[in-house]
Amino acid sequence: MNLLVTGGAGFIGSHFVLRHVGEYPKDNVVVLDKLTYAGDESFLDPVKKSITFVKGDIADTPLVEKLIKEHAIDVIVDFAAETHVDRSIDDPFPFLHTNVLGVQSLIEVCRKNPSLKLLHVSTDEVYGDLKDGDAPKKITDPLFPSSPYAASKAAGDFLVQSAMRTYGIKAIISRCTNNYGPHQATEKFIPTVIRTASVDQPVPIYAQGQNKRDWLYVTDHTDAIEVLLQTKDLFERSSSESCIYHVSADSEKKNIDVAKLLLKILGKPESLLTSVKDRPGHDWRYALDSSRMRKLGWSPKVSFEEGLRKTVEWYRRRKEGS
C-alpha cells in the first residue's frame, strides 16, 4: 500500500506513522505536514529513513496532486487539523483554512483520482456536549458543535459525506474521543497539568473541573485507524450514510479526577490545583457509542492509569533531553 499521511508529524499522526512503518515495512509512506506549533519532525526520527517527508499545507491542492502522482498513492490518511479549542475561540480562521479548505483540497484530488481512498480523522466534539445520564452519541445523531474548532471539523465531515454522494469518492470518517499520550502539544489539558505541576506552579482547572471526557490512549486510536485501513473492502462498502466509525474507550473521567491522579503519579500535592474562569461555551461531557468499531475486532488495550504513567514518563524524558 502507498499512503499519504497528512499531519503525520503531529500528535496522533506521528504515532500512526511509527506504528504503520513498524507493522508494514514494505509499504510506501509519505508524510505531509505543515509543521505548525503542534508538529515536530523529530517524532518521526525512528523511521525517517523509511518514509518520505514533505513540509507543506494540505490546502495546497497542486502539491497534494503532485504527491499522489509521484508516489502512486492508494490511500490518504488525514490527521491534519487545527485542534485546540481555546485557540479556535481566539482566532477561528486557521481552523477554517485547514479543517475546511484543507479537507476540500483532499476531496478535489480524490475526485480526479477515482481509485484513491480517503480516511478522514474527525472528533467527538462535532456532536456537542451531553448531559449526565444521556446515552453515548451514535453515528445517526445530529451534529451540534459548540466551538469554532468543532464547527470546522463538522464542516469537513459534511464535505466528505457530500463528496461521497455527489462525486462517488471512496471515504471513511472516524470520530474519536479525547486522546492523550506522548507527542501531544503542551497546551492541552493533560500536558498542561504535567508541565505546571512538575515545576510546582499552579495547575489551572476550568471552573471546578467537573466536566467529563472519555479518554483514549493515543496508540489505541492508531490501532483503530489501522483496523479501518486493513478491513477488506471497507471503503467499497461505505456510503455517505454508513461511512462513520466511532472510536472510544468508555473511560469517562472528570477533569478534576484526572488532574488529581496525575498529581499522585508526579508526587505533587493537590494544593497546586487552581480553579480558573471557565472557557466560553465549554462542553459538559462527551461520549461515543463505539459498538460498530468493536464489531470489526478493535478494542482498547491501554488502561487509563497505565497510559498516564507512560505519558508522564515521556514528558519527563523530553524535559531532560533524552
pLDDT at 114: 96
In the prediction, which pLDDT does 322 show?
Answer: 52
| pLDDT reported for residue 306 | 97
Residue 88 and residue 152: Cα distance in Å, rounded?
9
pTM of the model: 0.95
Catalytic positions, written as ranges: 124-125, 149
Angle, helices 189-198/255-266, rounded to nearest 10 degrees: 40
State the pLDDT at residue 86: 87
**What are the sequence ranges of the domains in the chain?**
2-183+214-251+286-301
Q: Give the pLDDT of the chain (322 residues) as one tens digit per residue.
A: 999 999 999 999 999 999 999 999 999 999 999 999 889 999 999 999 999 999 999 999 999 999 999 999 999 999 999 988 889 999 999 999 999 999 999 999 999 999 999 999 999 999 999 999 999 999 999 999 999 999 999 999 999 999 999 999 999 999 999 999 999 988 899 999 999 999 999 999 998 899 999 999 999 999 999 999 999 999 999 999 999 999 999 989 999 999 999 999 999 999 999 999 888 888 899 999 999 999 999 999 999 999 999 999 999 998 876 5
The pLDDT of residue 140: 95
pLDDT at residue 100 in the model? 98
- Closest Cα to residue 226, out of 43, 9, 22, 35? 22
Which CATH number applies to 2-183+214-251+286-301: 3.40.50.720, 3.40.50.300, 3.40.50.2000, 3.10.270.10? 3.40.50.720
